[in-house]
């Protein structure tokens, strides 16, 4: 296939390498000529040190590169999806398959990435998500993920395009659950880092991750998702890898916050987009809209936006009224 990856960050570049190794003709688009120049000069992406980018991957800042593409991968950060989609729509051809790989929720509208892309371009959108650190995918370290699309034919095509000996792809239809699991886990990854930075142990992180997954499923079901999706690769799989790895920008940012830095100072030090910060505001908005109880995500929102201290957040969560787990666990 002829494929254009829109977005030259670590994830977009890692997928470009995967697709190129699968035998496809790949072009990578970047909004920044400096990124293109760096890759040309160094044969690597600054976010993927030590990974060689072959010269047969074309690089461009011209979005008309999507014309004639069989498949387009949207890999820009969540805050740039709408603006990029509006420009993309001018060049995207009706028969082109559109795949979103961005994990996030749009601020203010609280829309999922596929909703934005479909709304702006008029295309049916497939979503690819799972436990997929760019640093490992780029190096060919085995993993698996899920492609979700209401159109099973499109899901099957995307599954075939991405499947490789080191990248196992499962197919499904629950695009709502797939995207919400991916976006909300960024909040819990950030919190995992905060707890680690504040000196809490593995027990505390395991408690938070387990109950965070229940929160995600509870909200997802209210918004039309299938609860089983949250027990799969785009739910618990992505949650585990993001909460437990220093590859995760959200985790690293959280550690700095737990050590006493302000959210803004921590994000500046990480030096890249920290999706969990923005997802916390969106989750707060969605929880209020649906009336769904999300105490951990709400504590994260208050800590990030309303100056609640880590100690106060922990005390608040640990002091909640007692419950029976089986009656409150949306994954059972």
- Cα pseudo-dihedral 31, 33, 34, 40, rounded to 10: 120
In the sheet that 2-6 helps form, which strands lie side by side, from edge to edge?
A: 58-60, 25-29, 2-6, 71-74, 97-100, 125-129, 143-148, 167-172
Phi, psi for 72 (deg, rounded to 5): -120, 130
Q: Which two tokens stand for residue 309?
A: 């201290």
Range 202-215 burial, b when 16+ CB lie within 10 A, else e:
eebbeebbebbbbb
Q: DSSP of 67-103, one letter per residue?
A: TT-SEEEE-S-GGGHHHHHHHHTTT--TT-EEEE---
Q: What CA–CA distance (Å, rounded) separates 211 from 192? A: 12
CA angle 16, 17, 21 (to 5 degrees): 115
| Cβ atoms of 290 and 304 closer than 8 Å | no
Catalytic: 185?
yes
Q: What CA–CA distance (Å, rounded) separates 126 from 128? A: 7
Catalytic-labelled residue, pool 185, 205, 289, 316: 185
Return the active site residues.
185
């Amino acid at each position: 296939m002829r494929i254009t990856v829109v977005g030259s960050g670590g994830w977009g570049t890692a997928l470009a390498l995967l697709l190129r190794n699968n035998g496809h003709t790949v072009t990578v688009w970047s909004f920044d000529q400096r990124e293109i120049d760096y890759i040309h000069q160094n044969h690597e992406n600054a976010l993927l040190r030590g990974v060689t980018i072959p010269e047969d991957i074309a690089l461009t800042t011209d979005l008309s590169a999507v014309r004639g593409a069989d498949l387009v991968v949207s890999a820009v950060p969540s805050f740039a999806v709408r603006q990029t989609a509006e420009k993309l729509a001018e060049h995207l051809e009706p028969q082109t398959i559109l795949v979103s790989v961005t994990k996030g929720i749009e601020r203010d509208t609280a829309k999922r990435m596929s909703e934005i892309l479909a709304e702006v371009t008029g295309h049916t959108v497939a979503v690819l998500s799972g436990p997929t650190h760019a640093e490992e995918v780029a190096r060919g370290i085995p993993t698996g993920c899920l492609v979700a699309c209401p159109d099973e034919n499109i899901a099957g095509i995307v599954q075939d395009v991405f499947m490789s000996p080191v990248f196992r792809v499962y197919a499904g239809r629950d695009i709502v659950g797939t995207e919400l699991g991916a976006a909300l886990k960024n909040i819990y990854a950030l919190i995992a880092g905060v707890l680690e930075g504040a000196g809490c142990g593995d027990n505390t992180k395991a408690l938070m991750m387990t109950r965070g997954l229940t929160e995600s499923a509870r909200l997802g079901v209210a918004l039309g998702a299938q609860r089983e999706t949250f027990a799969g690769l785009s739910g618990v799989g992505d949650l585990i890898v993001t909460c437990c790895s220093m590859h995760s920008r959200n985790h690293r940012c959280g550690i700095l916050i737990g050590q006493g830095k302000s959210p803004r100072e921590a994000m500046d030090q990480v030096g890249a987009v920290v999706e969990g910060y923005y997802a916390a505001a969106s989750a707060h908005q969605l929880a209020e809209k649906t009336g769904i109880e999300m105490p951990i995500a709400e504590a994260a929102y208050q800590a990030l936006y309303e100056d609640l201290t880590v100690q106060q957040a922990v005390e608040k969560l640990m002091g909640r009224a007692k419950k029976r787990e089986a009656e409150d666990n949306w994954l059972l």
